[in-house]
Amino acid sequence: MRTWEAIAATFGIVAVYFNARQNVLGWPIGLVNVGLYTWLFYLGKLYALMGLQVFFAIISLYGWYQWLRGGQQHSGRRVTRTPRPLGLALLAGALAGSAALGWYLDRYTADAHPYLDATVSVVSLAGQWMMARKYLETWLIWIAVNLVSVPLFLVRGEYPTAVQYSVFLALAVNGLVQWRRALTASS
């Protein structure tokens, strides 16, 4: 299983590398990562993270389309800031979704870390959707998710995944810098 985890982690790192550079190849490469992690999270009894992969697959297809054909001219999206009302709605939804999913996982499953699993999953879903729309603040979401995920996977002894999320953290910081430059250049 460690070999598959390392392969999945490699696909994830490559996908985020491309996303940080606004290269559309990040989306199809990310689909491979999603498929592998669906299976790995099922085996590891992290059910929210497993289910999240299905949503990631859907959002990856959506993001792939948006980056190629989205926007007002259907010529792809450019980096923008998250509108404040949308940001507040996403925050409220993430808080409520995390609490509800955490309660469900705690009560009805054998999830190893129900509330942490739920929070990482729900916040990641919001972050992935924000990336598909090319909102700059997606990288702040990913920085936070990675800061929580690295210790989670270290404690669980899932070292290739912990390394992947460590690299994701560095890539998220780089993505924030790159996308901020793109936003400034287009202003």
Helix axes 47-69, 84-108, angle to 10 degrees: 150
**What is the C-alpha separation between 97 and 82, in angstroms, rounded?**
20
pTM: 0.88
Domain boundaries, the chain: 2-186
DSSP label of 40: H
176 contacts 139 by C-beta, under 8 angstroms: yes
Tens place of pLDDT per residue across the chain (187 aa): 678 988 998 999 999 999 999 999 999 999 999 999 999 989 988 887 788 899 999 999 999 999 999 878 888 899 999 999 999 999 999 999 999 999 999 999 888 889 998 999 899 999 999 999 999 999 999 999 999 999 998 998 988 889 889 999 999 999 999 999 999 998 7
DSSP per residue over 7-40, as a string? HHHHHHHHHHHHHHTT-TTHHHHHHHHHHHHHHH
SS3 state of residue 64 = helix
